[in-house]
A and B are shown apart, each in its own frame.
Chain A
Amino acid sequence: MNFTSNTNVIPMKNLSQPGRLLPFVAISVPGADLTDVLSLTPRVMRWDRVSSERIWIADLESCIGYWRAQAQLQGRDEISCIRSVLERTTGVAHQQKTMTAVMADHPWQAVLLLEHMQRRGLRGFVSLSTPIGQNLWREVSWSAWEVCVGDLSIHFDAGTAGLSEENMVSAVKRQVAFAKSLRRGCEQLLRAVPRLGMTMPWQMRGMDPLAIRRRFGAALHEVWTWAFAAPELREERSERDDSPARKVLDGDSGAGASSRGFLFALPEMSTSKAVDSPVVGTANPVVGTANPVSGFGAKFPWRGEKPATRPEISRYLEFPLCEWDHMQPLLKEDLDRLCALDSWHDSERVLSLEWRLVLSDMTILEIPVRFRHPHHLHAESGHQRTALLQALYSFQASLPGSAMDPSRHADMLPTIPVTAWHLAVAERLLIPRQARDLFGSSAGLALQASVDACAGDGSVDENREWRWNLQNAKLQELLHLENRLPVRLESWDLSPDWHPEDSARQVLPASFADGSAQKSSALKPSAFQRFDDSRSDAEASLTAVARGRPLFVYRQPYALPKDGRARLWRFCERTMDKWWRQGSPRALQRDYYVVTDDQERKLWVYKDSLGRVQIHGVFA
């Protein structure tokens, strides 16, 4: 095989594709501080490097819906929106063209590509989802790989700072062993590279993962997975994440409810531990070291940075309280007090609050109060309806024997009263000063951006401002509503694919795709104007096929009972199965039938080429 040619020719029409929004951004700006990056997301990591200036890694997943909504309001694609925020916050660096930023599926990919760009002297913002980003990714050299692996080892050594002594011993042992294994594996790999004829790390993508593990060790296999299997890991992560917190926030009651394409990073829900003093509790290793990439890279040394000041208030109750109804007015008061703190500005949005209850038996119960979208706490001063609802949902889920738990039996489950609590803003989003208008809101500038985006196409619409305001109001309403619900509202979009499981994708919670608005010329962003004919044809084909498919399908098809009395088999369609997928059965095709079972239910079943009959859907 010839590995010398690594550069693809990019069709001109592909150059204008905006690309997808990916969850991690690595940013290198001379002189940038944490505040600049916190305007993108509250989850930020500082990545120190041996050879050059440090970079910042931002995890956008917790507020990806917010940015998607902002992009739609501004009438531009999501990547342009992120880029414009970065340009505003790093104004001088942007003007001097010294900023380099990379958007990728995994922080390791972002770090590697950033290193490569800086070696080539490239500046600007590149997303791995664009053709240009993919081409650059293919060109990443072995020397950049080696340097980044060295930087990674440094972070493993420093990754235990902040842990308690007890946890640190085991963590240090694990991480030192991992770092050693990684260095050894990398040395072996670099020795083997000339023999294997691989000139670029990208050529490793097709290698057998088990072979990598066997030859170069588990650590290098892990790093290889971060680099070349990050999207698959994200899917696995979304399917695997069924933590109690997620169930609370998403209303997940089924195994597969966290379905395709939805990502929402949530650390552990609550921990309870005994302390010597009711107030001074020990440092919280769970919250302090929450690893947002733990789902698809448990060994990635993520260390979240925190702002210097953290808005926090405490309350010592005069009387121990058990019931939510008694706590609610006091908690509302505390939320208002939080808004009045100097360290908590009106322009900031909260993503999660940390509510630590001190029980009468000196136990601390930590209840994270999380919001689906960045929430404006100041806007609800006086009633704090949204925050109180989310606090109630978390309270219900955290206290199995609480008064709010419907399964509680008062005689059997005594409730331990609460004697004090501490309320702190755990994660917040800073709206940069440059993104605010005279009144401290970002709405005016978003409207201006929308007008600017539409000005290029020469379209004139007298009702533009009115329609923008209408859309903005509806969007805000939807976001507020979603923030108040304990269950997730699913939003779907078509995905042109012949396979029934892949023919729809779930849109992120805040997605607000107003078809009527997109079709209008006034609000039509340039990205939407480039209508892809092939996608249109595929969607038309999918729609035609879907007329004969049921409204509901099972998340996990199951076998048709053999002892059942199926009376009618009517052939519907034949489709290919994706047999090459890892873990899927080696069936080549599926024949779909409508079957009426002994309960007179019309089922949508398929018979694969292995002869198995599976119930896939139901004509409800």
Chain B
Amino acid sequence: MSLSKRTILQSYTVPESEGTSAEICDTTLADMAGVGLAADLTSTRESLLSGISPLDDFLGGGLVCGTICEWGIPFGSGGREVVAAFLAGVSRLAERSSDAAPPWILWAHGRSGLTAYPPAWHARGVPLTRTRFAEAGKPVVDLKPVFMDPFFKVIVLDAPRSLSDDDCAFLARQARAHGQVVIILRDYFLGQRRGNVWARLRLNCWCPDPVQNPETVNLRVVRGLAQRQMQWRL
């Protein structure tokens, strides 16, 4: 993926935390200011943190509750590991809020023949006791009662086969009403014009060199925050 012309190549390394190293690169000065601004704007609202400070800072304080966040992650690129990191952080959401127990997670995917491998989720810190998986190609049709109910606080729609603009508007309205984080994962890259207009944040995630360096994942903000890019090692 080519970088924007206005990007000033600048990089710095963030100290490693909990066995994970992260590196922010390709950052503009304006973007740095944008991070601060976004953090200020979202500080009053509850947000879902991954627990990895560079990643949370990069997204301006995590994923804000009550909004939709859309990710462009080509299938097989390993980018869903980043989303799993956010799901592992739901227990921190409970610690900061008044709830006694961590919130419930729903991961709905639209691929038949594929199923979640629970030990891998558990190993990445996702609480299996609080997570439910569903196979739903048309999530708004198949899971409508879920969106009408505030039970699940984090809902991930992984590669839905059918999701119209009206569906997205419905999801945004329900997420705002119930304070849910709705994450929509697409199998293709998103752009300024390509994506869900109801999403507060639009991101792309990919592995730049799957052959030589398969553990590295790039994250790029497309919409919702100032454009920036981050490189993250799994």
**Residues of A participating in the B interface, judged by any CB pair closer than 8 Å:** 251, 253-257, 259, 389, 467, 470, 474, 477-478, 481, 484-494, 500, 503-504, 513-517, 542-547, 549-556, 567-568, 570, 594, 596-597, 599-603, 617-620
Contacts and interface: CB of A to CB of B under 8 A. Distances in A.
Contacts of A551: 80-81, 84, 116-117, 120-121, 124
B191 interface: no
Given A504-B119, A546-B123, A596 B214 contact: yes
Given A594-B214, A619-B78, A600 B207 contact: yes
Contacts of A478: 104, 151
A484 B142 CA distance: 10
Contacts, number: 171
A84 to B, nearest CB: 25
A515 B129 contact: yes
Interface of B: 73-81, 84, 100-102, 104, 106, 109, 111-124, 127-137, 142-143, 145-146, 149, 151, 158, 207, 210-211, 214
Contact of B133 (A255, A477, A489): A489
A516 B130 CA distance: 10
A487 B143 contact: yes
29 contacts: A251-B135, A254-B113, A257-B112, A470-B101, A485-B134, A487-B142, A489-B132, A492-B118, A494-B118, A494-B119, A494-B128, A516-B102, A549-B119, A549-B123, A551-B81, A552-B109, A553-B117, A555-B113, A568-B214, A570-B214, A599-B76, A600-B76, A600-B77, A600-B210, A602-B76, A602-B78, A618-B75, A619-B77, A620-B78
Chain A interface SS verdict (over half):
mixed
A504 B117 contact: yes
Contacts of A596: 210-211, 214
Nearest to B73: A620
B117 A500 contact: yes
Which of B73, B79, B135, B143 gathers most chain A CB within 10 Å? B135
Contact of A516 (B77, B101, B109, B123): B101
Nearest to B148: A484
Contacts of A254: 112-113, 135
Contacts of B112: 253-254, 257
A597 B211 CA distance: 10
Given A543-B123, A549-B117, A619-B78, A602 B128 contact: no
Contact of B80 (A251, A255, A257, A620): A620
A490 B101 contact: no
A537 to B, nearest CB: 15
B151 A620 contact: no
Contacts of B121: 551
B122 A617 contact: no
Given A489-B133, A543-B123, A600-B77, A552 B210 contact: no
Given A546-B120, A618-B76, A618-B114, A489 B129 contact: no
Contacts of B149: 477, 481
Contacts of A549: 117, 119-120, 123
Contacts of B128: 491-494
The residue in A515, A597, A619 that gathers the most chain B C-beta atoms within 10 A of its C-beta is A619
Nearest to A597: B76
Contacts of B158: 620
Contacts of B142: 251, 485-487
A313 B109 CA distance: 41
A602 B210 contact: yes
A481 B120 contact: no
A257 B113 CA distance: 8
A578 B116 CA distance: 21
A285 B77 CA distance: 53
Contacts of A513: 129
Contacts of B111: 552
B20 to A, nearest CB: 12
Contact of B75 (A484, A491, A601): A601
Contacts of B214: 568, 570, 594, 596, 602
